[in-house]
Amino acid sequence: MEISIPVITSVDVEAPILDVIVKRRSKRAYASTPVSAEKIQSLFEAARWAPSSINEQPWVYIYATNDQPELWNKILDVLNESNKVWAKDAPLLVVSLARKSFSRNGNPNGSAHYDVGAANAFLSLQATQLGLNVHQMGGYDRHRAIENLNVPNTYEPVVIMAIGYPGNADVLPEHLKQRELAPRVRQTQQSFVMNKVF
Ligand SMILES: Cc1cc2nc3c(=O)[nH]c(=O)nc-3n(C[C@H](O)[C@H](O)[C@H](O)COP(=O)(O)O)c2cc1C
């Protein structure tokens, strides 16, 4: 017998949470305002303090601002066309990568991607606090990323992030504009939280 939990969605916040969690969203319209070196440092500092399996901290970031066109274009180049169309306006692109093995013994780190995700979440919330928008993207060509960025075999690209100050949604193609302005939807807690066995 298959047991399924009914999935119900809602746009409401069901219980009190941090303001930055409410405010964070993956926007696609960016202002041309550059992101200062201090703010960039704060983003990576937030990632630095994320938890990780046996404190391995398996994350590595490659970033480029659009005033470094050579490196910035090497990152933009790997994105799927559907992401490139809006990510080209983000003044900051960041590639997150995972070190595949534990540095202490060389064993495969099954938590590496999980830990990079946690670090990216910390980075995203810090960005929200600074008035910045982070949009994570899994839609890119991994092989091209490895090639363009000369990634050694010991690392794997995870997600690429487009970062900048929110801009005017009017510049987006109509279908993306509508998504930008639509309310954020989530499954209700009732759909994924259990206080009983399956
Ligand atoms: C691992 C991952 C991959 C994603 N890949 C893409 C992507 O390639 N393109 C895109 O537009 N959004 C992408 N997103 C953003 C999600 O679509 C977005 O987080 C989700 O719709 C919820 O919206 P919100 O972040 O505004 O709350 C990705 C997010 C994550 C965490």
Tell me, letter by letter, the H, E, C secondary structure of the chain. Answer: CCCCCCCCEECCCCCCCCHHHHHCCCCCCECCCCCCHHHHHHHHHHHHCCCCHHHCCCEEEEEEECCCHHHHHHHHCCECHHHHHHHCCCCEEEEEEEECECCCCCCECCCHHHHHHHHHHHHHHHHHHCCCEEEEECCECHHHHHHHCCCCCCEEEEEEEEEECECCHHHCCHHHHHHHHCCCCEECHHHHCCCCCC
Give me the pLDDT at residue 5, please: 75
Give me the pLDDT at residue 3, please: 67
CATH numbers and ranges of domains, the chain: 25-183 (3.40.109.10)
User: Ligand 1 centroid to 27 CA: how many Å?
Assistant: 9
What are the pLDDT digits (tens) for 135-161? 999 999 999 999 999 999 999 999 999
Give me the pLDDT at residue 7, please: 86
Query: Average per-residue pLDDT in the chain?
Result: 96
What are the pLDDT digits (tens) for 21-45? 999 999 999 999 999 999 999 999 9
Confidence (pTM): 0.96
**Ligand 1 close to Cβ of residue 187 (< 6 A):** no
**Ligand 1 close to Cβ of residue 83 (< 6 A):** yes
